[in-house]
């Protein structure tokens, strides 16, 4: 993971900044230059809500090397309360208890670690919404 590539994503990964199309209102995460729904090119920044529910999930048992310390881990696609869908890990739970429809909250976590000496990459993960 190279610093610049990681740094460029901070608005999305750190703050959940999305783009809302000024013409049709579609919320895009990540924000884009062209609205895929109406073709308009003007957007305003909107923060994503931090809760949603699981639409589908899996448990990664054979993990890429940067994730072996946390394997097995769940990956979920969740629909947030404003309808935006995104993919992230679902952590802090027994992977065998994850279910479609489960309510989740977004937390700030370390997502990748570049070996022992490289950059640390932070971002969003889902956790069960237990309070």
| Footprint of other proteins (CB under 8 A) | 5, 9-10, 12, 14-15, 30, 55-67, 69-70, 73, 75, 77, 85-89, 91-92, 94, 100, 107-112, 115-116, 120-123, 125, 130-131
CB of 17 to other proteins, least distance (A): 9
Residue whose CB is less far from other proteins, 10 or 40: 10
> Which segments of the chain are extended strands (E)?
17-21, 27-28, 43-47, 51-60, 73-80, 85-90, 103-113, 120-128
Strands of the sheet containing 27-28, edge to edge, are: 27-28, 17-21, 43-47
Residue whose CB is less far from other proteins, 17 or 41: 17
CB of 35 to other proteins, least distance (A): 13
Instruction: Give CA torsion, residues 81, 86, 88, 94, to 10 deg.
Output: 50
Residue whose CB is less far from other proteins, 20 or 109: 109
Distance, in Å, from the CA atom of 48 to the CA atom of 15, rounded to the nearest integer, reads: 8
CB of 73 to other proteins, least distance (A): 6
CB of 33 to other proteins, least distance (A): 15
């Amino acid at each position: 993971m190279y610093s610049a590539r990681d740094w460029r994503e901070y608005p999305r990964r750190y703050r959940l900044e999305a783009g809302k199309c000024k013409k049709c209102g579609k919320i895009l995460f990540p924000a884009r230059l062209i609205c895929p729904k109406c073709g308009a090119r003007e957007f305003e920044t909107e923060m994503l809500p931090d809760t949603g529910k699981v639409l589908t999930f899996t448990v990664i048992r054979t993990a890429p090397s940067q994730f072996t310390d946390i394997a097995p881990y769940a990956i979920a696609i969740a629909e947030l309360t404003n309808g935006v869908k995104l993919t992230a890990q679902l952590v802090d739970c027994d992977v065998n208890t994850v279910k479609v429809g489960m309510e989740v909250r977004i937390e700030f976590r370390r997502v990748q670690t570049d070996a022992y000496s490289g950059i640390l990459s932070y971002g969003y993960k889902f956790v069960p919404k237990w309070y």
